[in-house]
Amino acid sequence: MGLQKDFLWGGATAANQFEGAYLEDGKGLSLVDKLPAGKERHLPLFEPQKHLNDEFSFYPSHESIDFYHRYKEDIALFAEMGFKVFRMSISWPRIFPNGDETEPNEAGLKFYDDVFDELKKYNIEPLVTLNHFDTPLHLVETIGGWRSREIVDHYVRYSKVVLERYKDKVKYWLTHNEINMVAHIPLIGGGLIIEEHENRNQVIYQAAHHLLVASSMATKVAKEINPEFQIGCMLAAGEVYANTPNPLDVLAALDKNREQYFFIDVQSRGEYPGYAKKTFKDLGVTLEMQDGDLEVLKAHPVDFISFSYYSSRLESADPEENKKKDAGNAFASLKNPYLKASDWGWQIDPVGLRITMNQIYDRYQKPLFIVENGYGAIDELNENGEIIDDYRIDYHRDHIREMINAVDDGVELLGYTSWGCIDLVSAGTGQMKKRYGFIYVDRDDVGNGTLERKKKKSFDWYKQVIASNGENLE
């Protein structure tokens, strides 16, 4: 029992959170380049209709951790840890600065050639997300991001260019990061600015339809370019539990789970699930479709299911009880008395990973890939300048143990990439101090620091986990 020999161990990142060089070599602005850090971030993130064009004092994505200039040093460190796979995204506005050009930006394409070549030197397989919270700002401003049907063509043109360019360098692709995030943080999930008078769900589910059709079209194009490509969807996962055994709570949890699985039901099975009709009716949503949309969804489902897992969630049927939900997170949840939480209130539930994996696998029977899991925490250097991050080691150890238990339960699993294997900018808060890495980066929340890289204690720990293929977790 245990993991297969060619199990893909590695780490995960996203262009907008670690590349920096936000205007270099012809890159255009991404909507993320308008987001500040810390307390101010929720303003444009959750109320873009009021605040997207506010002037803020600091934008963390502009320099980020400067992977753009330091990729050789960083990839050497990943190789030293023994990575078999490295998850990254391509910055869409680096390739099409405004999103609606017909010709791509060669300098942007060249950068990713260089990165893939560097990974190849160490036999590290790239796992590439085409769209990770990175809609070109111009498309947000001119056509409303994913609310407009027109974006499907722009996305497919962009995808075709990169799939063609890297057809011999990349095998594993994800069409959209955390597709269900469009319903939770519509700005980063779909480049959506929703006005107060609008039916929010109408905008979100129409955008979701565009994301889904675009994903299938990109899958079609991908298979035409290289039939060996493996294309995955990506879900922000985390099983929703019922608050009590009251059947009404169980039903409420079922509904909450469906809110997430809805997207993957379409991407994996190729059709809208049976419950969609009622959901749309209840929410007052009428989808506009074009001829051939349902056929394209049906004909081009994904090959594997990837997901992020940080936490499970807890749901009640009682509106009074639900008022106690922790609202600060993208996924509001009740407090589970059996779990501890991180400093950011994310509840730690390793067994929840095993449950989630079994649920997803039972639902789709396709190989899974854990493409994000990790512990955002404040790291401090001790008097010797070391970072002894035992809390992070504990988090990963407990989750990897349960991941292996799920594989022993019978779940097919391709790999595991820890989120933010090198410290990077938080998507939710824009902070640097919410660190996930095995590699420390000297940079703070307002842009001070040398950007120097330093191994944490967890670096050697993860190295040994990979070397033993998950057998030595101590």
Instruction: Tell me the catalytic residues.
Output: 178, 372
b/e map 247-271, b = 16+ CB within 10 Å: eebbebbeebbeebbbbbbbbbbbe
- Cα separation, 33 vs 23, whole angstroms: 10
Q: Binding ligand P53 by CB under 6 A: which of 86, 96, 229, 419? A: 419
177 lines the binding site for ligand P53 (CB under 6 A): yes
Q: Is the C-alpha dihedral spanning 24, 27, 29, 35 positive or negative?
A: negative
261 lines the binding site for ligand P53 (CB under 6 A): no
369 lines the binding site for ligand P53 (CB under 6 A): no
Q: Is the C-alpha dihedral spanning 377, 382, 385, 388 positive or negative?
A: negative
Binding part of the chain for ligand P53, among 167-175, 190-198, 251-259, 425-433 by CB under 6 A, reads: 425-433
If the CB atoms of residues 421 and 427 are measured against ligand P53, the closer one turns out to be 427
Among the listed residues 163, 261, 264, 293, the one whose alpha carbon sits nearest the alpha carbon of residue 219? 163
Strand locations in 117-251, DSSP E?
125-129, 172-174, 230-237, 240-242
CB of 309 to ligand P53, least distance (A): 9
Site mask for ligand P53 (CB under 6 A), range 238-257, x = bound: --------------------
Q: Binding ligand P53 by CB under 6 A: which of 26, 270, 273, 428? A: 428
Residue 434 · residue 376 · CB < 8 Å: yes
Q: Binding ligand P53 by CB under 6 A: which of 180, 347, 426, 458? A: 426
- Cα separation, 271 vs 287, whole angstroms: 14
207 lines the binding site for ligand P53 (CB under 6 A): no
296 lines the binding site for ligand P53 (CB under 6 A): no
If the CB atoms of residues 74 and 293 are measured against ligand P53, the closer one turns out to be 74
Report in angstroms the alpha-carbon separations of 431 from 17, 36, 40, 434.
10, 9, 11, 6
Could you count the other beta carbons within 10 Å of the beta carbon of residue 228? 10
Q: Binding ligand P53 by CB under 6 A: which of 236, 242, 266, 357? A: 236
Which backbone phi and psi does 73 adopt, to 5 degrees? -60, -45
Give the DSSP H or E segment for 459: helix 457-467
Give the DSSP H or E segment for 317: none
Task: Return the percent helix, strand and coil in the chain, to nearest 5.
Answer: 45, 15, 40
3-state DSSP call for residue 305?
A: strand
CB of 230 to ligand P53, least distance (A): 20
166 lines the binding site for ligand P53 (CB under 6 A): no
Q: Which residue's Cβ lies closest to ligand P53?
A: 428
CB of 236 to ligand P53, least distance (A): 5
Binding part of the chain for ligand P53, among 55-63, 385-393, 426-434, 443-451 by CB under 6 A, reads: 426-434
Site mask for ligand P53 (CB under 6 A), range 119-158, x = bound: --------------x-------------------------
Query: Which residues have C-beta within 8 Å of that of residue 295, sequence separation ≥ 6?
Result: none
Residue 127 · residue 172 · CB < 8 Å: yes
Interaction residues for ligand P53, span 378-417 (CB under 6 A): none
3-state DSSP call for residue 414?
A: strand
Binding part of the chain for ligand P53, among 214-222, 348-356, 427-435, 448-456 by CB under 6 A, reads: 427-435
CB of 427 to ligand P53, least distance (A): 4
How many residues bind ligand P53 (CB under 6 A)? The answer is 18
- Cα separation, 82 vs 102, whole angstroms: 40
294 lines the binding site for ligand P53 (CB under 6 A): no
Site mask for ligand P53 (CB under 6 A), range 38-77, x = bound: ----------------------------------------
CB of 5 to ligand P53, least distance (A): 29
Query: Which residues have C-beta within 8 Å of that of residue 294, sequence separation ≥ 6?
Result: 271
User: Side-chain half-sphere of 74: how many Cα atoms within 13 Å?
Assistant: 28
Q: Binding ligand P53 by CB under 6 A: which of 131, 243, 257, 308? A: 308
CB of 219 to ligand P53, least distance (A): 20
330 lines the binding site for ligand P53 (CB under 6 A): yes
Residue 465 · residue 395 · CB < 8 Å: no
Binding part of the chain for ligand P53, among 77-85, 382-390, 398-406, 428-436 by CB under 6 A, reads: 428-436
- Cα separation, 421 vs 229, whole angstroms: 25
CB of 424 to ligand P53, least distance (A): 7
CB of 449 to ligand P53, least distance (A): 18
If the CB atoms of residues 367 and 428 are measured against ligand P53, the closer one turns out to be 428
3-state DSSP call for residue 216?
A: helix
Tell how far CA 326 is from the center of its chain: 21
Q: Binding ligand P53 by CB under 6 A: which of 372, 379, 423, 445? A: 372
CB of 419 to ligand P53, least distance (A): 5
- Cα separation, 361 vs 423, whole angstroms: 31
**Footprint of ligand P53 (CB under 6 A):** 14, 17, 133, 177-178, 236, 308, 310, 330-331, 372, 376, 419, 426-429, 434
